[in-house]
Structure 1
Amino acid sequence: MSGKTRACSACQRNGRLTCRRTRLGEPCLKTYGLECVELLRRARVAFQAGRTLKENFRLAQLEAVVRMLEEHECDFVDALGRDLHKPRFETVVSELILVKNEALHAINNLKKWMQPHPVERNLSTSLDECVVISEPLGVVFIMGTWCSPVQMCLVPLVGAIAAGNCAIIGPSECTAHTSDLLHRLIPFYLDNECFHVILAGTNDLPEVVELKFDHVLFSGNREEGSRIAQAAARTLTPVTLILGGKNPCYVDQHCDINTAAQRIAWACFQNAGQSLVAPDYILCHADVKARLVQALKCCLMQFYGSDPKESRSFGRMVNLEIFNRTRDMLWRSGKVAVGGQVIEAEKYIAPTILTEVSESDPIMQQEVFGPVLPFLTVDSVDDAITFINKQEKPLCVYAFSSNSKVTTRLMSETSSGSFCSNDCILQSMMVALPFGGVGASGMGSFHGRYSFDTFSHRKSCLLRGTRFECVTYLRYPPYEDRNLSLMAWASTLSQKSQGWCQIL
């Protein structure tokens, strides 16, 4: 880990909650719990004053997010380059453009999202108004993961703003330069009372959550997500969890191997494999394995050259802790078919393909979060489905096949947060699709309208008049058998006429 990260850890030991830098390059400062309490208080006061409720305020904040990304594109490229050795292309495409698309989509649809949603009426409410109103939850806390530090902080923030909430953002301490940049820029672009950034250590996040927010969204690994959920449960705070998992990728014998290899290689090795949604392992037939491994080897040569270490298109591990963890799994699992080189001083792990991997190998026991792709063989699509269903529910399932029946089976007979056939990752980047986990890979979702709904309370409203009391009197005491008979008769009719008797 860098000297700055070590300094931050020291501050965490001496301070209560978090360390903070006010400008890039400045030494970290101790920040105690009182600061978080004060920021939460300010945000709550602003929310209760109705500051975020009006459509024009929300639009202005969303436009400011777009402006911030456009005016500081080079700063974000530099920060992510320092943190992850992330190429400019990857930063712009998978971080900045993704957030801008979310913000522009929200701007274009906000008026429609904010409108009350009418629901179907029945005979007993034919003269009443039945609507569902989306109202903001209040002050929400968004914690982004280090592997996509801009995207996983700002995409949920877009939804929180659109829904009319105040928000506190907690970017990851692992990507210190990106976190510092967000901490520095957001006060210059967004409302200073409604939106704040805190730089909390991972171990401090449960304590921050216990300060009582109206919703918490966390993206990261399962262990940390479990601690966040437990802390939120103590104050009955609802949570959205986007957690990592073992994302399987099934490659059928009936598919275009070269195309599959290109798409798998891109998904597995961008950002040095540090992604919640990258394929985590390959399931394929024995007669497909050799061809696919060779095709992937050719792709890696085409993408990164003969020495990926010298490529400007290949990243590095975020810190030594993640590097050591990935290296140890690599050395203790399967057989290296491609790659395998490591350089600790550079936090470099070459794009690596492992064969002869068994289910009990270390690399199959936890998420990889690195540029290592293990191969397991199966005899049929049935075996692949059985293997996937034996594991915890993953965040993503991928399937490559030219046979639509095969991809349909994988989609319908396995359970996962998302599914994609004949490509990888794209389903998690589309503004029109919800992105989230299920079971061990999380709960809740976001993106586009789904983000708006995540950070909204959908309040059911029945607006009635006082007419027809001559009928509704049947529900009042003293209860009489005659009235009960009439209501039971009406209830029988309701099965055919869509419920016109609902306590009248």
Structure 2
Amino acid sequence: MQSTSINEIPLGVTQSLEWRRHQLLQLAKMAQDHAEEWLQAIAADLGRPIAETHLMEIGPVVERAVVSAALLETWAAPEVFTNVVLDWQKSWKPTVYRAAKGVVLIVGPWNYPMILILQPLSGAIAAGCCAVVKPSEVAPRFASLLAKLLPRYLDPSAFRVVLGGPDIGARMMEYRWDHVFFTGGEKIGRIIAAAAGKLLTPVTLELGGKSPVIIDSKYDIKLAAKRILWGKIANCGQLCVSPDHVYIAREKQEELIAALKECCHQFFPDGALGSGSIGHIVNETHFNRLKSLLARTQGTIVLGGQTDDKLGMEPTIVAEVTADDSLMEEELFGPILPILPVNSIEDAISRIRSGPHPLMMYVFTNDQEIKKNVLANTISGQITFNDTLSELAVKELPFGGIGASGSGYYNSRYGFDTFSYLRSSIDMPRDAEQSLEFRYPPFTEEKVAFLRTTTFMNIPSNLQVNK
């Protein structure tokens, strides 16, 4: 198919930093002006407490759009390399420009529908791209609200919303985009990657996986339990970096279970179901999937496990889980926390290394050697020490997976970089001609001797690096 020309905007308008700044600030205003509507739409779709939506969606969208607008000139500035190139190349004015990739497609998920669409959109706007966004049909109230509000705030000739299900998503992938940004599960990620590959379309995949937790026996078990349980119940466990399962020394398992029970009572003194402080499972399909996993587990349910007819599920702790248990088959994406007792930190590391690279790892320890050991011997998109989820709050850090958990990065400056490409340039001066004579025929002995100097330069046997 031909390139998707959604932008009827005059050529070069999106290159204007003033235009981009205005669009970013409009995006922030859209989120802020209609905060109550966003809260209600997301609550209706997910049953999520409004406090979580303020903390993890609306607030970050507003803040990061405003910060991006303020830093845009710095991000977009051409980078001149005259201070680092060889002396005889300085007059060439070697420069790298950061240019917009063009028209991009952003396909969002249902679990955090606002930030996981509008944050990459902020990056596309900052880079000077036009964009089509497709929200998930699984969060229909949010999708409808976005389709209504976005054209009121952003330039409709450059940014559009497309609604629909998988058939529409497949249809969109038939077009030739300049970049595709997808957030979702590994199964659909493979389909997106295959479709993009047919047209050689660059793609960013923000997927997920089973994010493990390691607890050092010497760490404060009660504090670890509190922070892990908070991370697990956020959005009722429906988060790509939710702590998926815990590795802890066998002799500390009971202490951890007791601490988790205590924390759960503190969080939900009258019970989690109907408390208003935890969301529900998004739909019956996912609800039944989780119930099936629980029904087949060979572990011992030591806390929770109850559900209601409103798709609610209690925070559920399962002890004595093994690597081949039903709960280890796939990313849980729900409020179930398996505990896998291990013999040592090395045992936990070995188990993590045997599986796909996770999007996030959580390690609770104050031992610097353990931290170094885990960093050196595991691979993950991100790693957080001594907390869960909080790394998402640091807007200056890149976010992205590796291998099965995704590819590519975004978040503030890294979002700008994702939707930009580096355009190298030199500007050869007329008076440089004398220094270029060596490249022209005829190749005399003198010219060849000169050209040999780099080929046969001295290679040191042990290069000393100044620290």
TM-score bucket of the superposed structures, by smaller chain: over 0.9
Distance 1:469 1:241 in 2: 47
Cα offset for 1:404? 1.9
Cα offset for 1:405? 1.5
1:210–1:234 CA contact under 8 A, matched in 2? no
For the residue of structure 2 that corresponds to 1:280, the secondary structure is strand
> Is 2:35 the counterpart of 1:64?
no
1:245–1:441 CA contact under 8 A, matched in 2? yes
Cα offset for 1:203? 4.4
> Is 2:299 the counterpart of 1:337?
no
Match of 2:465 in 1: none
1:304–1:314 CA contact under 8 A, matched in 2? no
Cα offset for 1:467? 1.8
Match of 2:464 in 1: none
Distance 1:471 1:76 in 2: 63
Alignment of 1:320-359 (within 5 A): 320-333=284-297, 334-343=299-308, 345-359=309-323
Structure 1's unaligned 5+ residue stretches are: 1-32, 497-504
Comparing 200-209 with 379-388, greater Cα deviation is found at 200-209
> Is 2:110 the counterpart of 1:151?
no
| Residue-by-residue CA offset, 1:218-272 (whole Å, 9 max, x unaligned) | 0110000000000111111000001010100001101111111111011001110
Cα offset for 1:296? 1.0
| Residue-by-residue CA offset, 1:79-127 (whole Å, 9 max, x unaligned) | 1110110111000000011112211220121010111012222122122
Cα offset for 1:428? 2.5
Cα offset for 1:411? 2.1
Match of 1:26 in 2: none
What TM-score, normalized to structure 1?
0.88
Cα offset for 1:412? 2.4
Distance 2:383 2:113 in 1: 23
Alignment of 1:85-164 (within 5 A): 85-119=47-81, 120-164=84-128
Letter in structure 2 aligned against 1:94: M
For the residue of structure 1 that corresponds to 2:426, the secondary structure is strand
Letter in structure 2 aligned against 1:354: V
Cα offset for 1:206? 3.0
For the residue of structure 2 that corresponds to 1:445, the secondary structure is coil
Distance 1:95 1:378 in 2: 36
Counterpart among 472, 475, 481 of residue 436 in structure 2? 472
For the residue of structure 1 that corresponds to 2:416, the secondary structure is helix
Cα offset for 1:485? 1.3
Distance 1:155 1:282 in 2: 30
Alignment of 1:425-464 (within 5 A): 425-464=389-428
Counterpart among 258, 265, 268 of residue 294 in structure 1? 258
Distance 1:307 1:217 in 2: 39
Cα offset for 1:494? 8.9
Distance 2:85 2:292 in 1: 62
Letter in structure 1 aligned against 2:116: M
For the residue of structure 1 that corresponds to 2:138, the secondary structure is coil
Counterpart among 483, 488, 501 of residue 447 in structure 2? 483
2:186–2:405 CA contact under 8 A, matched in 1? yes
| Residue-by-residue CA offset, 1:388-436 (whole Å, 9 max, x unaligned) | 0000001001100121221222122110010000011121332100000
Q: Identity over the aligned pairs, expressed in percent?
A: 35
Cα offset for 1:294? 1.1
1:400–1:407 CA contact under 8 A, matched in 2? no
For the residue of structure 2 that corresponds to 1:336, the secondary structure is strand
2:5–2:103 CA contact under 8 A, matched in 1? no
What TM-score, normalized to structure 2?
0.95
1:101–1:431 CA contact under 8 A, matched in 2? no
Letter in structure 2 aligned against 1:281: H
1:139–1:213 CA contact under 8 A, matched in 2? yes
2:205–2:406 CA contact under 8 A, matched in 1? yes
1:339–1:352 CA contact under 8 A, matched in 2? yes
Task: Tell me the C-alpha RMSD between the 2 structures.
Answer: 1.7
Distance 2:122 2:432 in 1: 46
Letter in structure 1 aligned against 2:306: Q
Distance 1:201 1:349 in 2: 26
Distance 1:469 1:492 in 2: 25
Match of 1:14 in 2: none
Distance 2:149 2:394 in 1: 26
1:342–1:348 CA contact under 8 A, matched in 2? yes
Distance 1:464 1:81 in 2: 60
